[in-house]
């Protein structure tokens, strides 16, 4: 058929498959969407199915719309009656027609994330449980996970009866389900689960949809969870016993195990669908041979895979450049300098460059490096560091401590964390402040003159007392120590630690990174008061907000990068404990991290940079880092090790700038003099705030001399000999 002439041999074999189940293993950049759309067009053009007899399932609405547009360009048939959508949108269509058969009204409400949290909060209150102990985000994650695994509230309670907290979580789960039913509401997970219940309990409805959908196609099959797998399995089998299920996926790109995706769904496809055909798409149309060779060698270290080897007709390409940097600041400066070179010498648009990292917290140093060089950037799949909620909450506390007339900051934190100050109370304070022409914080000193409940008055008085105490401590504690004091005293730290979800852990990482930023500022600048630090951040934020260029570098986590491609890619933070980022010693965790690295590598079309730091600031202290074990899995013949050489290039006068081999220019740190001879390891010193400590080590970072001191109450601290307020005793 002429329709398939533009496909390569393997793509054509998959798209023209006749009947029976088929698994298409589509490697990165091998044209899986092209195969899916041509498959659907082929089924219609060949008369094997009418448009409404095909069910195509994707994971995002964007992918579904793209599929519809492409199919519309391939065939003359109207695509209006086609069932193409996400798992959830397909299930809503089925439930709107038949949910009354399982005891719901057809006009059911779908609760979003915020609705779910409110409902869970109501359940916690009704069961008279402590909301600080039973974090609503954590409870929501557990309920979602148990639902998708098919675990009812009763079963969860029975399984956890001996563990007091878990038993109570089960009671919350049970009450949550009861309240949903009373409200004739479904949450997001219910859309699939209730559809499964409908199909399993109503033979007539099941038979109708099995006969209706002659062919079922599923995209990104490696990302399906238990419920989604069961839905495909039950819908795919028609009355004749045929299983015309066509799934496309890549086990090497299965990176969502943490949110329920089960890689076994794709690994066991031939067992689950007897007589299944397997077609491997291995010809890559994206990357150079060097990049593919590296990706192939890395991923073959995994055991959980079916096996394939990507290849390309493209020339071998540039070697992958591995960059060893001193710390996260040096890494950011290096990345920025290389971007400038790619932009100026290779005419690569900024929009065709991306920086990938494992966790959102890593973006802070990278953002500052790009801002410093005037390189426009955008954050994808996340929020710019200083615009993240948890960071803005901390900054609001700091701003109010500095400026008690700051009503914006007051409004943000008066009830964060929750301290039983309701909207009515806040309105009374606001009205009083307006009438008296004073700030809202100043109004809080006059609670006796307002019509407040005793409980509200007590909460406000406690808030004021806390802020006043912090104002005193501001002038006696070092910057980073004071900020930690604010985070702990305010209750923000406990609030974020109680959220044990992935999002909650990310917030904690961002708080740690904010502390590292403060510590870095404290050590770099002689003027390092809270006022100076907040002005520094405000300047960064101001510059950030002025950037409105379409030609901007993309910053994102590797998870957000899946499905995207760029000419030039920087994978940063390749250190043990960061990438791979392992929570346990299980092999499965390491294999998913390796798949994530594989996804990162295969985003690059022409040029790939891999960077790591010898040390990185975490929790306000420098930690020595080991380079990622993944780097040793990249073939040596694919790598160009980049070392700094401090040659003085022509045209820079007396300014000495280190060069990477290959001519990449990076600002050189000022040459350091000899280490101060009056300090040696073992010396006792006095710090004006931290007391007596012992010198452990002296080191030269090229820009300054650093002394590592063990303080009795602070642990090991890295201090600048230029600025540290220490005296030998």
Question: 253 an active-site residue?
Answer: yes
Q: What is the C-alpha to C-alpha distance for residues 215 and 212, in angstroms, rounded to an integer?
A: 9
pLDDT per residue over 404-446, tens digit each? 887 888 988 998 888 888 889 999 998 998 888 888 999 999 8
Give the pLDDT mean for 173-189.
90
Please say whether the beta carbons of 42 and 4 come within 8 A.
yes
The two tokens of residue 229 are 């797998």
What pLDDT is stored for residue 110 in this prediction?
82
Task: Check 33, 304, 498, 694 and give the catalytic one.
Answer: 33
Statement: residue 612 has pLDDT above 90: yes
Q: Which of 377, 337, 467 has its CA nearest to residue 413?
A: 467
Q: Which residues contact 260 (CB under 8 A, 6 or more apart)?
A: 144, 145, 148, 225, 226
- Angle 521-527-529 from CA coordinates, rounded to 5°: 75
Statement: residue 381 has pLDDT above 80: no
What pLDDT is stored for residue 587 in this prediction?
63
Task: Check 146, 189, 190, 220 and give the catalytic one.
Answer: 220
Looking at residue 579, the DSSP 8-state letter turns out to be S
Statement: residue 543 has pLDDT above 50: no
Q: Which of 34, 73, 31, 39 has its CA nearest to residue 56?
A: 39
Q: What is the C-alpha to C-alpha distance for residues 585 and 599, in angstroms, rounded to an integer?
A: 22
Question: 220 an active-site residue?
Answer: yes
Give the pLDDT mean for 111-130.
87
Task: Check 86, 224, 253, 425 and give the catalytic one.
Answer: 253
Count of other CB atoms within 10 angstroms of residue 558: 23
What is each CA distance from 385 to 401, 458, 524, in whole angstroms?
22, 35, 20
Top pLDDT among 549 and 555 is at 555
The two tokens of residue 347 are 């005419």
What is each CA distance from 467 to 425, 434, 473, 512, in whole angstroms?
19, 22, 10, 22
Question: Looking at beta carbons, which pairs linking 34-38 to residues 24 or more positions away fall under 8 Å?
Answer: 34/7, 34/70, 35/7, 35/11, 35/248, 35/281, 36/67, 36/217, 36/219, 36/248, 37/67, 37/70, 37/71, 37/74, 38/3, 38/4, 38/7, 38/11, 38/74
Task: Check 286, 364, 507, 603 and give the catalytic one.
Answer: 603
What are residue 281's DSSP bridge partners? 26
Task: State the DSSP H helix or E strand holding residue 457, giving kind and residue range, or none if neither.
Answer: helix 454-474
Q: What is the C-alpha to C-alpha distance for residues 387 and 391, in angstroms, rounded to an integer?
A: 7
Tally of CA atoms within 13 A in the half-sphere of 612 that contains its CB? 19
What pLDDT is stored for residue 685 in this prediction?
83
Phi/psi of residue 685, nearest 5 degrees: -130, 160
Question: 468 an active-site residue?
Answer: no
Please say whether the beta carbons of 236 and 286 come within 8 A.
no
Lowest pLDDT segment from 182-186, 499-503, 542-546: 542-546
Q: What is the C-alpha to C-alpha distance for residues 587 and 599, in angstroms, rounded to an integer?
A: 18
pLDDT, the chain, mean: 85
Please say whether the beta carbons of 69 and 48 come within 8 A.
no
Please say whether the beta carbons of 590 and 629 come within 8 A.
no
Phi/psi of residue 301, nearest 5 degrees: -75, -10
Tally of CA atoms within 13 A in the half-sphere of 700 that contains its CB? 10
The alpha helices in 99-187, defined as continuous H runs, are 113-126, 136-148, 153-159, 164-182
Q: What is the C-alpha to C-alpha distance for residues 246 and 168, in angstroms, rounded to an integer?
A: 43
Beta strands in 552-690 (DSSP E): 553-557, 566-571, 604-613, 615-618, 621-624, 639-642, 644-645, 659-660, 664-665, 684-687
Q: Which of 356, 400, 405 has its CA nearest to residue 377?
A: 356
Q: What is the pTM of this model?
A: 0.71
Statement: residue 32 has pLDDT above 90: yes
Question: Looking at beta carbons, which pairs linking 394-399 to residues 24 or more positions away fall under 8 Å?
Answer: 394/483, 394/486, 394/487, 394/492, 394/511, 394/514, 395/534, 395/537, 397/470, 397/486, 397/490, 397/492, 398/483, 398/486, 398/530, 398/534, 399/534
Percent of the chain clearing pLDDT 90 (strictly above): 50
Please say whether the beta carbons of 375 and 568 come within 8 A.
no
Q: What is the C-alpha to C-alpha distance for residues 458 and 293, in angstroms, rounded to an integer?
A: 66
Question: 542 an active-site residue?
Answer: no
Per-residue pLDDT band at 372 (split at 50, 70, 90) = confident
Percent of the chain clearing pLDDT 70 (strictly above): 88
What pLDDT is stored for residue 549 in this prediction?
56
Question: 259 an active-site residue?
Answer: no
Give the pLDDT mean for 332-341.
95
Beta strands in 453-559 (DSSP E): 553-557
pLDDT per residue over 494-528, tens digit each? 888 887 776 777 788 888 888 888 888 888 777 78
Top pLDDT among 621 and 117 is at 117
pLDDT per residue over 620-667, tens digit each? 677 889 999 999 999 999 998 776 543 333 332 333 333 333 333 333
What pLDDT is stored for residue 182 in this prediction?
85
Q: What is the C-alpha to C-alpha distance for residues 93 and 104, in angstroms, rounded to an integer?
A: 15
Task: Check 13, 146, 189, 219 and give the catalytic one.
Answer: 219
The two tokens of residue 388 are 């993240």
**Cα Rg of the chain (Å, integer):** 29
Buried b (16+ CB within 10 A) or exposed e, 108-139: beebeeeebeebbeebbeeeebeeeebbbbbb
Q: Which of 299, 356, 337 has its CA nearest to residue 642?
A: 337
Task: Check 32, 194, 474, 618 and give the catalytic one.
Answer: 32
Question: 219 an active-site residue?
Answer: yes
What pLDDT is stored for residue 567 in this prediction?
97
Buried b (16+ CB within 10 A) or exposed e, 296-325: bebbbebebbeebebebebeebebbbbbbb
What pLDDT is stored for residue 658 in this prediction?
37
Which burial class, exposed, middle or buried, applies to 9 when counting CB atoms under 10 A from its CB (0-12, 13-18, 19+)?
A: exposed
Query: Which of 79-83, 498-502, 581-585 ranks highest by mean pLDDT?
Result: 79-83
Q: Which residues contact 491 (CB under 8 A, 6 or more apart)?
A: 417, 419
Q: What is the C-alpha to C-alpha distance for residues 555 and 583, in angstroms, rounded to an integer?
A: 24
Lowest pLDDT segment from 241-255, 298-312, 529-543, 683-697: 529-543
Count of other CB atoms within 10 angstroms of residue 192: 23
């Amino acid at each position: 058929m002429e329709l398939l002439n533009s496909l390569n041999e393997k793509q054509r074999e998959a798209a023209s498959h006749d009947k029976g189940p088929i698994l298409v293993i589509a490697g990165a950049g091998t044209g899986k969407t092209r195969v899916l759309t041509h498959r659907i067009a082929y089924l219609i053009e060949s008369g094997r199915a009418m448009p409404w007899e095909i069910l195509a399932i994707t994971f995002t609405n964007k992918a579904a719309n793209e599929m519809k547009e492409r199919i519309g360009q391939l065939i003359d048939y109207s695509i209006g009656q086609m069932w193409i959508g996400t798992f959830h949108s397909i299930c809503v269509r089925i439930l709107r027609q038949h949910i009354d058969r399982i005891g719901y009204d057809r006009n059911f409400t779908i609760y979003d994330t915020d609705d779910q949290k409110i409902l869970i909060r109501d359940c916690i209150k009704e069961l008279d449980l402590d909301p600080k102990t039973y974090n609503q985000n954590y409870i929501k994650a557990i309920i979602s996970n148990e639902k998708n695994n098919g675990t009812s509230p009763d079963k969860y309670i029975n399984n956890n009866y001996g563990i007091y907290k878990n038993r109570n979580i089960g009671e919350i789960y049970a009450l949550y389900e009861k309240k949903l039913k009373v409200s004739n509401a479904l949450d997001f997970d219910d859309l699939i689960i209730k559809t499964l219940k409908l199909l399993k309990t109503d033979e007539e409805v099941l038979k109708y949809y099995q006969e209706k959908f002659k062919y079922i196609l599923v995209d990104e099959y490696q990302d399906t969870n238990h419920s989604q797998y069961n839905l495909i399995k039950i819908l795919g089998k028609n009355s004749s016993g045929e299983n015309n299920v066509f799934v496309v996926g890549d086990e090497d790109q299965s990176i969502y195990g943490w949110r329920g995706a089960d890689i076994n769904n794709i690994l066991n496809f031939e067992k689950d669908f007897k007589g299944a055909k397997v077609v491997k798409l291995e010809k890559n149309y994206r990357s150079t041979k060097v990049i593919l060779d590296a990706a192939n060698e890395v991923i073959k270290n995994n055991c959980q895979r079916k096996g394939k080897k990507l290849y390309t007709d493209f020339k071998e390409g540039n070697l992958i450049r591995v960059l060893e940097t001193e710390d996260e600041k040096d890494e950011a400066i290096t990345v920025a300098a290389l971007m400038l070179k790619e932009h100026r010498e290779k005419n690569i648009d900024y929009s065709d460059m991306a920086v990938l990292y494992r966790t959102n917290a890593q973006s802070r140093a990278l953002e500052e490096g790009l801002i410093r060089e005037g390189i426009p950037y955008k954050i994808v799949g996340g929020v710019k560091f200083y615009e993240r909620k948890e960071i803005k909450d901390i900054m609001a506390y700091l701003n109010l401590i500095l400026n008690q007339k700051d009503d914006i900051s007051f409004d943000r934190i008066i009830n964060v964390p929750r301290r039983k100050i309701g909207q009515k109370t806040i309105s009374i304070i606001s009205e009083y402040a307006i009438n008296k022409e004073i700030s809202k914080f100043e109004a809080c000193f006059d609670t006796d003159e307002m019509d407040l409940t005793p409980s509200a008055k007590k909460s406000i008085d406690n808030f004021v007392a806390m802020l006043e105490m912090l104002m005193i401590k501001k002038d006696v504690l070092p910057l980073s120590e004071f900020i930690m004091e604010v985070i702990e005293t305010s209750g923000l730290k406990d609030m974020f630690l109680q959220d044990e979800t992935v999002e909650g852990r990310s917030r904690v990482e961002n708080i740690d990174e904010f502390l590292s930023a403060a510590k870095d500022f404290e050590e770099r600048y002689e003027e390092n008061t809270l006022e100076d630090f907040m002005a520094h951040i405000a300047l960064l934020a101001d510059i950030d907000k002025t950037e409105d260029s379409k030609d901007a570098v993309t910053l994102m986590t590797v998870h957000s990068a899946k499905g995207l491609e760029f000419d030039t890619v920087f994978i940063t933070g390749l250190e043990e404990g960061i990438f791979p980022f392992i929570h346990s010693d299980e092999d499965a965790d390491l294999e998913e991290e390796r798949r994530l690295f594989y996804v990162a590598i295969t985003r690059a079309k022409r040029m790939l940079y891999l960077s790591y730091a010898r040390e990185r600031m975490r929790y306000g202290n420098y930690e020595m880092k080991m380079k990622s074990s993944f780097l040793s899995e990249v073939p040596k013949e694919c790598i160009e090790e980049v070392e700094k050489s401090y040659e003085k290039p022509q045209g820079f006068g007396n300014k000495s700038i280190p060069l990477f081999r290959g001519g990449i220019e990076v600002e050189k740190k000022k040459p350091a003099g000899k280490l101060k001879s009056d300090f040696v390891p073992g010396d006792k010193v006095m710090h004006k705030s931290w007391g007596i400590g012992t010198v452990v080590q002296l080191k030269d970072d090229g820009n300054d001399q650093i002394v590592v001191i063990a303080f009795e109450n602070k642990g090991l601290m890295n201090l600048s000999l230029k600025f540290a307020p220490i005296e030998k005793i």
